[in-house]
Structure 1
Amino acid sequence: MSSPLRIGVIGLGWFGEIHCDTIIGLPNLKLSALCTRTGDRLEALGKKYGVQKLYRDYNEMLADPEIDAVSICTMWDQHTEPAIAALKAGKHVFLEKPIASTVEDANKIVAASRDSKGILFIGHIVRFNPRYRMAKQAIDAGRIGKIVALNSRRNIPAAWTPEILNKIGPIVGDAIHDTDIMLWLTGDRIVSAYAQTVDVRGLKHPDIGQTMYRFAGGATAMLETVWCMPEKTPFDIDERMSIIGTEGIIHIQDTFPNLAVVDGNKLHSPDTTYWPEFDGVRGGALRDEFDYFARRALANEQPQIGRPEDAAAALAATLAAEESARTGNVIRIG
């Protein structure tokens, strides 16, 4: 396959647009098609990016032989059908996390990927955060010994979440990032989950999730996910993780306070890691993630980061945690 990889984006909500902003800045990708059921949105983004191939039905996009790959940014409970259809069509697939909304659907997507000519990459972006990548290197080098405990915090302001909380809760929505990273760093599997939630604003899903995991090797983990930090919180995200080993410890802190901008309103600490924008193009971890996907797809090599099996394991653990929060029971994971 000749470079660049010709890619279409399915799902043009706010993050689908960020995907487009990222793709246009990469020399090994060409944004070639867009798909959404919302006609005016499709027309507006087609003009923004100069894309001529506009579809309201993703099956029509998948039938186009000039499209090599797709990015799927639909809601998590609408991943299964387009992902399987794209894989059956032989396209390379970048599928946003969570891989699906049920373990059964995740397994269907994983199975479809094994029979496809295209590769399947799941967009667990935190694996492309350089701080976590350096932590992984240190752990793999044996610098902290055996991991015995982990804890994480991934908290965001309330202003971000009213609409999101009517679609997905904080454990599957955000703690899945830390769950995936913990699985990656330990190389282990989670065998049980216990969680509690707090409903602050009376939305469809609770605002706060507190989760505990037990790993097969004996390590434990605690994950804090608060989606209702006060409106005047000066940073976009409070993200931290500690990994405690028998011979050392690693502490990761991201976003706040690595940049502070004070204006007439308040102090702001915007994201500088995941998808910062420069001159209309997105950079950071999302750019690195798409570059990795494109290089793997162009070489027709299965990804070693963002594997569908890993994404399915993270989904299973977070869904078990949500079940625990509903029932008050510790949930065993097979």
Structure 2
Amino acid sequence: MTGAADRTTGPTVAIAGVGRFGALHARAWAEAGARIVGLVDPDADRLAGTARAHRVERTGTDLAALLDQVRPDIVVVASDEASHAGLAVTALTAGCHVFVEKPLALSAADAWRIADTARAHDRQVVAGHISRFTAQMSRMRAGVERGAVGRLCALRLRRDFSRAWFLSFGDRVDPVWESCVHDIDLAISFARARVRRVMAMRSAAAGDAAPSVVSALLEFDNGVIATVESAWLVPAAGPGTLDDGPLDLDGAIVGEAEVLGLDGILKQRLVSDALVEWTTAGVQVPDLSLWPEEDGLVGGALRREIGYALAVFTGRREPDLMPLEQACWGVEAAEAIVESLRVGAPVQTARR
């Protein structure tokens, strides 16, 4: 237990889902000054371990029942994707602000139901699209906004994951919701518009791994187009990017982003040769953008994301960096990509 988790001041937080990433959230929110007052998870061992680490007395398997016992300021939803919408609505109805790990929901109808519930109860919702908060993407977005590339024309976004991850948890939900959703959100953040139409394909050559290899073309209302590609095929011999970080997950996330305008192009690579470690343990290209440990604390984009959410929830900042409306647009686009993959044809996004 770090000293940061001993704080007794600051907003109170309950966390729904304390698996690998939920446990990381517990640590990061505590380090940010929040007080963890409740935990929910169906796994008794995970629940007990996280409760011990953060000295949390109130735990359970049902969020509604927990909220009857303790009323936190904030609920962090870090459970399996299918449960996000229901848990978010439960927390909002109880009067809590909500941070929801991506994806916000698995259907546009549920995404907008969350937005409607937040509005009805005068609560804020922040969707956990961490890539928006990396220093590189923040700088690229600022460049687009100040006109560095002129009129925005197109976006190219690619993200690859370790093959072992797909075999262990990548097929828990359609990988569109697990991996493509990151880059759908980035595309929306750059284009600042709603996706109108999508066309998507999967690789027949991938055989049983076909769901893990997706390519999609997105057309926005303002005429910008974006390509979003995702594959969970990085071999075990590939460079590790997360092996020694605070998240218990060995392997690689390899991404690239390009912003193309009439007056310039911006490019970013998630894995670069800025820092490479060649040791007897193998080759590591440690990621220093997402959640690196910095002076014993979780840093990077996750710390900035949580800092932003705390500022929004406490009224110190408007929800400008991750507007809930844009998170709903992202769910619309992901849902359309899944449908396009099913029917093998272009699909218009569903709008209410």
TM range (shorter): over 0.9
Q: Secondary structure at the match of 1:210?
A: strand
Structure 2 residues without counterparts, runs of 5 or longer = 1-7, 241-251
Q: Bigger shift: 58-67 or 36-45?
A: 58-67
Which residue number in structure 1 is paired with residue 340 of structure 2? 324
Is the Cα contact below 8 Å between 1:238 and 1:256 reproduced in 2? no
The answer to whether the aligner puts 1:22 opposite 2:38 as a matched pair is: no
Q: Distance in 1 between matches of 2:79 and 2:273?
A: 32
How do residues 39-188 of structure 1 correspond to structure 2 at under 5 angstroms? Answer: 39-188=44-193
Q: Distance in 2 between matches of 1:89 and 1:66?
A: 8
Which residue number in structure 2 is paired with residue 7 of structure 1? 13
Following superposition, the deviation at residue 280 of structure 1 comes to 6.0
Q: Distance in 2 between matches of 1:61 and 1:117?
A: 21
Is the Cα contact below 8 Å between 2:254 and 2:271 reproduced in 1? yes
Q: Distance in 1 between matches of 2:339 and 2:71?
A: 43
Q: Bigger shift: 301-310 or 111-120?
A: 301-310
Which residue number in structure 2 is paired with residue 213 of structure 1? 218
How do residues 221-236 of structure 1 correspond to structure 2 at under 5 angstroms? Answer: 221-235=226-240, 236=252
Structure 1 residues without counterparts, runs of 5 or longer = none
Following superposition, the deviation at residue 108 of structure 1 comes to 1.0
> Once the two structures are superposed, what CA deviation does each residue of 1:191-244 show, in whole Å capped at 9, x if it has no partner?
1111111363626x7111111111222222111111111111114221111111
Following superposition, the deviation at residue 161 of structure 1 comes to 2.1
Following superposition, the deviation at residue 299 of structure 1 comes to 2.0
Q: Distance in 2 between matches of 1:58 and 1:258?
A: 43
Is the Cα contact below 8 Å between 2:38 and 2:70 reproduced in 1? no
The answer to whether the aligner puts 1:289 opposite 2:305 as a matched pair is: yes
Which letter does structure 2 place at the counterpart of 1:141?
R
Which residue number in structure 1 is paired with residue 249 of structure 2? none
Q: Distance in 1 between matches of 2:266 and 2:10?
A: 38
The answer to whether the aligner puts 1:270 opposite 2:286 as a matched pair is: yes
Bigger relative contact order (CA 8 A; separation at least 6): 1
Which residue number in structure 2 is paired with residue 313 of structure 1? 329
Is the Cα contact below 8 Å between 1:149 and 1:243 reproduced in 2? yes
Following superposition, the deviation at residue 13 of structure 1 comes to 1.2
Q: Distance in 2 between matches of 1:186 and 1:293?
A: 22
Which residue number in structure 1 is paired with residue 203 of structure 2? 198
Which letter does structure 2 place at the counterpart of 1:116?
H
Is the Cα contact below 8 Å between 1:255 and 1:273 reproduced in 2? no
Q: Distance in 1 between matches of 2:341 and 2:266?
A: 29
TM-score w.r.t. length of structure 1? 0.93
Following superposition, the deviation at residue 66 of structure 1 comes to 4.7
Q: Bigger shift: 10-19 or 64-73?
A: 64-73
Q: Distance in 2 between matches of 1:259 and 1:37?
A: 39
Is the Cα contact below 8 Å between 1:158 and 1:231 reproduced in 2? yes
The size of the alignment, in residue pairs, is 331
Distance 1:319 1:132, change over 3 A: same
The answer to whether the aligner puts 1:242 opposite 2:242 as a matched pair is: no
Q: Bigger shift: 139-148 or 292-301?
A: 292-301
Is the Cα contact below 8 Å between 2:18 and 2:40 reproduced in 1? yes
Following superposition, the deviation at residue 258 of structure 1 comes to 3.1
Following superposition, the deviation at residue 141 of structure 1 comes to 0.9
> Once the two structures are superposed, what CA deviation does each residue of 1:159-211 show, in whole Å capped at 9, x if it has no partner?
222132221233221111111111111112211111111363626x7111111
> Once the two structures are superposed, what CA deviation does each residue of 1:236-284 show, in whole Å capped at 9, x if it has no partner?
2211111110111111122333332222232011321111235764211
Q: Secondary structure at the match of 1:176?
A: helix
Following superposition, the deviation at residue 63 of structure 1 comes to 2.2
Q: Distance in 1 between matches of 2:290 and 2:270?
A: 10
Which residue number in structure 1 is paired with residue 268 of structure 2? 252
Q: Distance in 2 between matches of 1:66 and 1:106?
A: 24
Is the Cα contact below 8 Å between 1:99 and 1:308 reproduced in 2? no
Is the Cα contact below 8 Å between 1:193 and 1:324 reproduced in 2? yes
Is the Cα contact below 8 Å between 1:3 and 1:298 reproduced in 2? no
Following superposition, the deviation at residue 65 of structure 1 comes to 4.7
> Once the two structures are superposed, what CA deviation does each residue of 1:11-63 show, in whole Å capped at 9, x if it has no partner?
11111011112112112x12222111222221111112222222222112222
Sequence identity of aligned pairs in percent?
A: 26
Which letter does structure 1 place at the counterpart of 2:201?
Q
How big is the alpha-carbon RMSD for the aligned residues of Structure 1 and Structure 2?
Answer: 1.9
